[in-house]
Structure 1
């Protein structure tokens, strides 16, 4: 596959997400996060994110998955409607075709922000969420963004300690 056919296969991205300052504001105003598509498997990204959020943030974290009962000692809810409160932020780990349905659940639950995980992009969902007055972030990880803004990237091994663009000599 050539670069030309790859570019032709991927639709152009016209939606523009919030700036870094706006993402920082969203995270700062957030007190509760619901992870839709949370997994109890340590190899899954949602599990890694959940571990970080529970151990390194002040957020109340809720897990949503209709087929799991417990993750990291916390109860798992079958849907956003079952949560004990309206989540400020709904972080989504679901496949592309499920995103419109998750948006409808998030709107009905009174969520303020729809956050689509790395690799997840759906412009129609973003436009619909914004039209409903919601913040939208796509193709970004809450864990990475929070750690980036709060100096915690080293927790996942992203911070090498090198303050140079030159490769470090280890020999």
Structure 2
């Protein structure tokens, strides 16, 4: 996949087929982008599971926080990553250890790591980077 530009149908299909999202780097701070995007996704009907080791066991927007992806007790369709780009390889490794595999890893704005993306795609996981579902959803789905 060319990660410099995505066809609209590729993004729209992901957003329409996704039901459960693990949000890595979720913050309880309403001023943080991860909080605002999580609130947006919840309003659009997605099930969102916040992932943040420092907040594990607490709630963000009424959803119980887990420490890591492996702690999620149900299959997820998409892993939305609010971490620095250099953290993406370790997130991809966590994702690839899940069973079943999520269909998509989504790197938020400025989250891009081409080698990590290639590894995920080689395992059959779609990758979107440097995009925000809260921007793409109104543009392509709503």
Check whether TM > 0.5.
yes
Q: Secondary structure at the match of 2:53?
A: coil
2:117 is aligned to 126
2:128 is aligned to 137
Indicate the RMSD between aligned Cα atoms, in angstroms: 1.3
CA contact (8 A) 2:23 2:80 kept: yes
Q: 1:49 to 1:35 in 2, by over 3 A?
A: same
1:41 is aligned to 29
> Alpha-carbon deviation of 1:112?
1.1
Deviations 1:34-77 (A, max 9, x none): 1000000111100000111111x221111000011210121000
Distance 1:23 1:107 in 2: 21
> Alpha-carbon deviation of 1:106?
1.2
Higher relative contact order (CA 8 A, sep 6+): 2
- Structure 2 gaps of 5+ residues are none
Runs of 4+ in 1 over 6 A off after TM superposition: none
**TM-score, scaled to structure 1:** 0.76
Query: For 1:32, which of 20, 41, 48 is the aligned residue?
Result: 20
**TM-score, scaled to structure 2:** 0.90
Deviations 1:96-119 (A, max 9, x none): 221111011112222110000011
1:99 is aligned to 88
- Structure 1 gaps of 5+ residues are 1-13, 152-171
How many pairs does the alignment contain?
137
Are residue 78 (structure 1) and residue 67 (structure 2) matched? yes
2:6 is aligned to 18
Q: 1:147 to 1:123 in 2, by over 3 A?
A: same
Are residue 52 (structure 1) and residue 43 (structure 2) matched? no
